Amino acid sequence: MMLKGALIGAGFFAQNQMHGWAGIEGVEIVAVCDRDPARRDKTAARFGARPYADAAEMLAAEALDFVDIATTVASHRPLVERAAAAGVHVICQKPFAGTMTDARAMIAAVDTAGKTLMVHENFRWQSAVRAAIDALRGGAIGQPFFGRVSFRSGYDVFSGQPYLATDPRFIIQDLGIHILDVARALFGDVATLSATTRRINQGIRGEDVATMLLEHESGVTSVVDCSYATRRQPETFPETLLEIDGDGGTLRLDAGYRLVIQTAGEQVRDVAPPVLPWAEQPWHNIQESVQIIQQHFVDCLRAGVQPETSGHDNLKTLALVEAAYRSAADRTRIDMRAAEWT
C-alpha cells in the first residue's frame, strides 16, 4: 500500500528529509507546506508535490497517511495537535518540545487519535553509531560499566542555520539532545545527571560547550560531552565518537568511522557510511541516517508497532535536556527518577 505524506517546513534540513522519503519504496510526499513562498514553491517543484501556505488548509485538502513536521520547536505543539485532530500519523523534528508540558500534551493528542508519533531523533540511526549499538547489545565486550559519548568540533553550523546563534539555549538543546539519546540507546535510562556549560563564542547567545555525567539505571556511568568551540585538525564534524569499557573488553568508535573492539585480540571494522547519490560530505552520515530513521517509521506503521524513538521514548531524552540546563544553572545533581521527570 502506498503511504501518502506531507512535509511541513521546507527549510535547510528538511531538504534531506525530502530526499530520504524519495528513496523509500511505497511512500509518496504529495504536499509541502511552508509560509515562505520561495522555499515552499522551490521544494514542491523539486520533488513533484503540491505547495501550501497553511497547514490546516493542506490537512483538509489532502488525503494523508502522515505528516513530517520539520519546523522550529515553537510551532510543534499546534502542528502536532492539528495533525492528530486530522487523524494522521506524525513524525516530528527534534527538539520535540520546548517544555515537558508541551511534549506530554502532544503525546496525549496523538495517543487519543490512535495514531503513531515518532520523533526524528536520527543520531542513534547513523550506521556507524548503529554498528556500535548492535555490537554492545550483542555482548561484544560483556557487561558495560563505563562509556563516553563525545561530539567535539569547531565547524561553523551557524552559516546554514543562523537562528542557532540567537537562541538562549544552544548546544544541549540542538546537539546534546542527540548525544544524550545515543547514551540512552547504548546504556539505558538514566538515574541521575549533573552538567556544566560554557559559552566560548561570544557572538552567540547560548552555550557552545556542555559536559554531562550520567548514572544509568543499568549501573553504567557515562560522560556525554559536546562542543562547537573545539579547534582540531583533522576536523571530525559531524562524527559522534564513543569509548566503552565492559567486563569483557573495550569498544571504540574512532574518528574516520573505525569501530575497534578489543577483547582477547583486536577487531577493527570500517563502518563508514555510504555517500548517497543526493548527499555530500561531511554531512553524509547524518543524511544517510535521515533515510534510515524514516524507513524505520514506515516499517513501524506497516507493522503496527511503536517506533524506537516514539514520543513516549523521546520524552525521557527531552527530560535529560531540561535536567541538564537546571543542573548547570543550579550546580546540582538531578534525580531523574523524581516525579517531575517521569
pLDDT tens track for 241-297 = 999 999 999 999 999 999 999 999 999 999 999 999 999 999 999 999 999 999 999
In 3-state terms the chain splits into helix, strand, coil percentages (rounded to 5) of 40, 25, 35
CATH number of the structural domain spanning residue 142: 3.30.360.10
Is a pLDDT exceeding 90 seen at residue 220? Answer: yes
Query: In this structure, is residue 296 part of a structural domain?
Result: no
Q: 292 lies in a domain?
A: no
Report percent pLDDT > 70 for the chain: 100
C-alpha cell at 37: 513562498
212 plus 331 within the same structural domain: yes
In-domain check, residue 9: yes
Determine the 3-state secondary structure of 268 from DSSP: strand
Residues 104 and 24 both lie in one domain:
yes
**Per residue in 18-73, pLDDT tens?**
999 999 999 999 999 999 999 999 999 999 999 999 999 999 999 999 999 999 99
Copy the grid coordinates of residue 158.
551557524
Q: Distance (Å, rounded) from C-alpha 147 to C-alpha 187?
A: 8
> Per-residue pLDDT for 342 more than 90?
no
One domain, residues 83 and 150: no
Looking at the fold, whether 176 and 73 belong to one and the same domain comes out as no
- Domain stops at, among 115, 139, 163: 115
User: How far is residue 295's CA from residue 261's CA, in Å, rounded to a whole number?
Assistant: 29
Half-sphere exposure of 172 (CA within 13 A, CB side): 27
Q: Are residues 111 and 131 in the same domain?
A: no
The domain that holds 12 is classified in CATH as 3.40.50.720
Please check the confidence at residue 7 and state whether its pLDDT lies above 90.
Answer: yes
The answer on 178 and 322 residing in a single domain is: yes
pLDDT digits (tens, 9 = 90+) for 183-208: 999 999 999 999 999 999 999 999 99
pLDDT surpasses 90 at 113: yes
Quick one: which H or E segment has residue 245?
Answer: strand 241-246
DSSP at 332 = -
pLDDT exceeds cutoff 90 at 160: no
Span 73-99, mean pLDDT? 96
| pLDDT recorded at residue 161 | 84
Task: Please report, as a single letter, which amino acid is at residue 268.
Answer: V
Residue 138 lies in a domain: yes
Total-model pTM: 0.95
- Note whether 58 and 143 are same-domain residues: no
Burial of 64 (0-12, 13-18, 19+ CB in 10 A): buried
pLDDT at position 138, please? 98
259 and 235 in one domain? yes
Position 114, amino acid? G
Q: Are residues 75 and 139 in the same domain?
A: no
Name residue, grid cell 544541549: 172
pLDDT in tens, 89-108: 999 999 999 999 999 999 99
Residue 163's pLDDT is what?
A: 87
Please tell me whether residues 173 and 214 are part of one structural domain: yes
Pair (66, 20) in one structural domain: yes
> Domain ends where: 69, 96, 115?
115
Instruction: Tell me, yes or no, whether 72 and 111 share the same domain.
Output: yes
> Which three three-digit cell numbers place residue 155?
565547524
Q: Is residue 265 part of a domain?
A: yes
293/124 Cα distance (integer angstroms): 9
pLDDT band of residue 145 (cuts 50, 70, 90) is very high
Is the Cβ–Cβ distance between 190 and 178 less than 8 Å? no
- Examine residue 211 and state whether it is found in any structural domain, yes or no: yes
Mean pLDDT, the chain, whole residue set = 97
Residue 238 counted as domain residue: yes
Q: How far apart are CA 43 and CA 6, in angstroms?
A: 12
Cβ atoms of 33 and 53 within 8 Å: the answer is yes
CA distance 256 to 238: 11
In a domain, 286, yes or no: no
CA distance linking residue 326 with residue 151, whole number of Å:
21
Residue 74 domain boundaries: 3-115
Domain count for the chain: 2
Which of 75, 96, 115 delimits the end of a domain? 115
* Cα distance between residue 34 and residue 337, in whole Å: 39
